[in-house]
């Protein structure tokens, strides 16, 4: 069997891939060595800007299978038949650290699913927590700046982290999640995933429901203590990536059961919490979980850079039957995610194999830009409407319209009867066992005690006191004990 021929990027055969062309033996190299210049120039450009957040990621392909009839709530095609399967790609990630960070750290985890449906790609961009730190996107850049490396010291600073939280009482709920036992998953396979935001489903009759997504791991939830995580991160920074890769390679395919909470649209205005506030959950006793289907991962990417690093998820990628809600953070992300990908990957990133539709074909009038390959055929027009049988609009909205009233301006979210920043954080604390509470207190105190300003510490302690008196007292005592040592 003859060997395949190594070629340049233009397809010309390479005669020597071991020695550069030179002016005589031992002489200077020649500018005319096209193969050398091409290799070096390409090598210089192999790295693209990493994601500002969620930089450190792993991913896999699989499928989603419908197990329960939900056609009374949504007319989304990929959910219309029990037993129907849709190919998916799922990317896991840490949030705050860089691409070179360790997997086993205390940080929320991204849980982003791309459904390759027959009506186009549907992207569900969530986390492994049902809530988030802030409720308005205008605060998001400041929040991330406070959590990332300080521009002077070049490291994450407890002063910055806790100072932002001191001035953002709405973060108390998510801080309680993050510092609790589920703050460091043992692996990507052993954590739940959540849509976190509130979305909208619309059925065939036009009835609207607000929906929250819950992916429950079928492997069981397993987490690491701070000490276990520190040891694992030092021994194997790639622990979660390795675990996911090896599990799928040996046929132990991880899976999750998707449940949803469904709220009739008419309930939203009078619900005791603002249902569109991403710092809040909907208690299950109000809106019980309803099973939808099963997500299975069964194939690893062939190339991590091409398929994981270049995977682009945008929460504005909806399909008929699914749409947005007035969730402010979601509204901001509808723009921010797609814009981030245009910056990192270019305007034609949707043509990359991992991002392109698989069960249908994208037909539009987008043209040109870097790495354009979207000619749409010979003599195809790049405008609409036209007289040349180009693709046309359907006139059918993807989801039900949202009612709006009032004046433009910068408004705080409308208040509901139980809308404070501390009630649900206290509820979460009171759900914990005594051992879980002790670990939570120790984790918070370990970070808060490192803060240099007393006023920042006191502001944070006030949040925990407001959530639950015992919670606040125990954190305060633990912080004072650590600072006296």
Q: What is the DSSP string of 249-295?
A: HTT---EEEEEEEEEEGGGGGG-SS-TT-TT----TTTS--EEEEEE
The answer to whether residue 54 is catalytic is: yes
User: Residue 196: pLDDT above 90?
Assistant: yes
For residue 405, the model assigns a pLDDT of 82
Tens-digit pLDDT profile for residues 106-139: 999 999 999 999 999 999 999 999 999 999 999 9
For residue 428, the model assigns a pLDDT of 97
- The set of residues, in sequence order, having a beta carbon less than 8 Å from that of 414 and lying 6+ positions away, is 274
Q: Which is catalytic among the residues 54, 75, 240, 259? A: 54
For residue 12, the model assigns a pLDDT of 87
For residue 41, the model assigns a pLDDT of 87
- Report which listed range, 11-20, 77-86, 361-370, is most confident: 77-86
Beta bridge mates, 62: 88, 297
Place of tokens 């006139």: 395
For residue 80, the model assigns a pLDDT of 97
Q: Give the span between the Cα atoms of 233 and 443, in whole angstroms.
A: 17
How many beta carbons lie within 10 A of that of residue 4, not counting itself?
A: 6
Helix, strand, coil share of the chain (percent; to 5): 35, 15, 50
Determine how β-strand 290-299 pairs with β-strand 85-94.
unpaired
- Tokens encoding 39: 């290799």
| 302 phi and psi angles, rounded to 5 deg | -80, -30
User: Residue 401: pLDDT above 90?
Assistant: no
Q: List Cα–Cα distances, 331 to 19, 278, 314, 328, 407, in angstroms.
A: 55, 11, 12, 5, 18
Residue 376 pLDDT grade (very low, low, confident, very high; cuts 50, 70, 90): confident
- The set of residues, in sequence order, having a beta carbon less than 8 Å from that of 446 and lying 6+ positions away, is 226, 482
Could you tell me which residue, 308 or 402, shows the higher pLDDT? 308
For residue 281, the model assigns a pLDDT of 97
For residue 419, the model assigns a pLDDT of 85
How many beta carbons lie within 10 A of that of residue 356, not counting itself?
A: 14
Least confident span in 146-150, 196-200, 266-270, 418-422: 418-422
Q: Give the span between the Cα atoms of 458 and 166, in whole angstroms.
A: 8
Q: Give the span between the Cα atoms of 348 and 150, in whole angstroms.
A: 33
* Closest to 135 (Cα-Cα) out of 341, 418, 411: 411
The answer to whether the CB of 200 falls within 8 A of the CB of 208 is yes
- The set of residues, in sequence order, having a beta carbon less than 8 Å from that of 456 and lying 6+ positions away, is 159, 162, 163, 166
User: Residue 403: pLDDT above 80?
Assistant: yes
Place of tokens 């050398």: 36
User: Residue 297: pLDDT above 90?
Assistant: yes
Q: List Cα–Cα distances, 141 to 51, 184, 221, 328, in angstroms.
A: 13, 24, 31, 14
Q: Please state at what angle helix 469-484 crosses helix 454-467, rounded to 10 degrees.
A: 150
**5, exposed or middle or buried, with CB in 10 Å at 0-12, 13-18, 19+?**
exposed
Least confident span in 46-50, 235-239, 468-472: 46-50
Residue 409 pLDDT grade (very low, low, confident, very high; cuts 50, 70, 90): confident
What is the average pLDDT value for the chain, to the nearest integer? 94
The answer to whether residue 127 is catalytic is: yes
Tell how far CA 61 is from the center of its chain.
Answer: 16
Percentage of the chain beyond pLDDT 90 is 80
For residue 42, the model assigns a pLDDT of 86
Buried b (16+ CB within 10 A) or exposed e, 255-265: bbbbbbbbbeb
What is the enclosing helix (H) or strand (E) of 400?
none
Could you tell me which residue, 370 or 478, shows the higher pLDDT? 478
User: Residue 10: pLDDT above 90?
Assistant: no
Residue 246 pLDDT grade (very low, low, confident, very high; cuts 50, 70, 90): very high
Residue 371 pLDDT grade (very low, low, confident, very high; cuts 50, 70, 90): confident
Q: Give the span between the Cα atoms of 381 and 390, in whole angstroms.
A: 7
Torsion of CA 135, 139, 140, 141, to 10 degrees: 180
Beta bridge mates, 112: 91, 125
Taking residues 235-239, report their average pLDDT.
96
User: Residue 1: pLDDT above 80?
Assistant: no
| 319 phi and psi angles, rounded to 5 deg | -125, 160
Determine how β-strand 208-217 pairs with β-strand 109-117.
unpaired
For residue 296, the model assigns a pLDDT of 98
Look at phi and psi of residue 280 and say left if phi exceeds 0, alpha if psi is from -120 to 50, else beta.
beta
Q: Which is catalytic among the residues 35, 75, 121, 127? A: 127
pTM attached to this predicted model:
0.93
Q: Give the span between the Cα atoms of 43 and 39, in whole angstroms.
A: 6
Q: List Cα–Cα distances, 428 to 30, 166, 179, 346, in angstroms.
A: 68, 19, 12, 42
For residue 436, the model assigns a pLDDT of 97
For residue 217, the model assigns a pLDDT of 98
Q: Give the span between the Cα atoms of 238 and 348, in whole angstroms.
A: 30
Taking residues 255-278, report their average pLDDT.
96
Taking residues 128-153, report their average pLDDT.
95
Helices vs. strands in the chain: H and E counts, helices first: 12, 10
**122, exposed or middle or buried, with CB in 10 Å at 0-12, 13-18, 19+?**
buried
For residue 410, the model assigns a pLDDT of 80
Taking residues 245-266, report their average pLDDT.
98
Taking residues 408-415, report their average pLDDT.
81
């Amino acid at each position: 069997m003859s060997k395949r021929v190594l070629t340049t990027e233009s397809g010309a055969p390479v005669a020597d891939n071991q020695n550069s062309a030179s002016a005589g033996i031992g002489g200077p190299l020649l500018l005319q060595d096209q193969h050398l210049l091409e290799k070096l120039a390409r090598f210089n450009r192999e790295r693209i800007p990493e994601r500002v957040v969620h930089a450190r990621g792993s991913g896999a392909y699989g499928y989603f299978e419908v197990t329960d009839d939900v056609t009374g709530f949504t007319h989304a095609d990929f959910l219309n038949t029990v037993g129907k399967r849709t190919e998916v790609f799922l990317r896991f990630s840490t949030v705050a650290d860089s691409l070179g960070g360790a997997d086993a750290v205390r940080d929320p985890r991204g849980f982003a699913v791309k459904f390759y449906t027959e009506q186009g790609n549907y992207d569900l961009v969530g986390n492994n927590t049902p809530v988030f730190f802030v409720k308005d996107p205008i605060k998001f850049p400041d929040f991330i700046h406070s959590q990332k490396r300080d521009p002077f010291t070049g490291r994450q600073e407890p002063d910055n982290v806790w100072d932002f939280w001191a001035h953002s009482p709405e973060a108390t709920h998510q801080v309680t999640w993050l510092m609790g036992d589920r703050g460091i998953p043992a692996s990507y396979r052993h954590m739940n995933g959540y849509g976190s935001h509130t979305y909208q489903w619309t059925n065939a009759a036009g009835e609207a429901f607000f929906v929250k997504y819950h992916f429950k791991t079928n492997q069981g939830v397993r987490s690491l203590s701070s000490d276990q995580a520190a040891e694992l991160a030092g021994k194997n920074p790639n622990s979660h990536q390795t675990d996911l890769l090896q599990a799928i390679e040996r046929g132990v395919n991880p899976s999750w059961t998707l449940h949803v909470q469904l709220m009739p649209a008419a309930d939203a205005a009078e619900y005791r919490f603002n249902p569109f506030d991403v710092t809040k959950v909907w208690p299950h006793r109000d809106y019980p979980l309803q099973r939808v289907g099963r997500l299975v991962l069964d194939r690893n990417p062939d190339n991590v850079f091409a398929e994981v690093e270049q995977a682009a998820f945008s929460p504005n990628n909806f399909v008929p039957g699914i749409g947005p809600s007035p969730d402010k953070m979601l509204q901001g992300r509808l723009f921010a995610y797609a814009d981030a990908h245009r910056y990192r990957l270019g305007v034609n990133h949707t043509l990359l194999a991992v991002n392109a539709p698989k069960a249908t074909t994208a037909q539009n009038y987008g043209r040109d830009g870097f790495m354009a390959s979207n000619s749409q055929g010979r003599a195809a027009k790049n405008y609409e409407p036209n007289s040349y049988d180009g693709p046309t609009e359907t006139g059918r909205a993807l989801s039900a319209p949202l009612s709006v009233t009032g004046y433009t301006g910068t408004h705080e979210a409308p208040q509901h009867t139980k809308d404070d920043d501390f009630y649900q954080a206290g509820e979460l604390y009171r759900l914990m066992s005594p051992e879980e509470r002790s670990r939570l207190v120790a984790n918070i105190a370990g970070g808060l005690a490192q803060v240099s300003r007393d006023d920042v510490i006191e502001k944070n302690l006030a949040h925990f006191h407001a959530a639950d008196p015992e919670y606040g007292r125990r954190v305060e005592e633990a912080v004072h004990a650590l600072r006296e040592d």
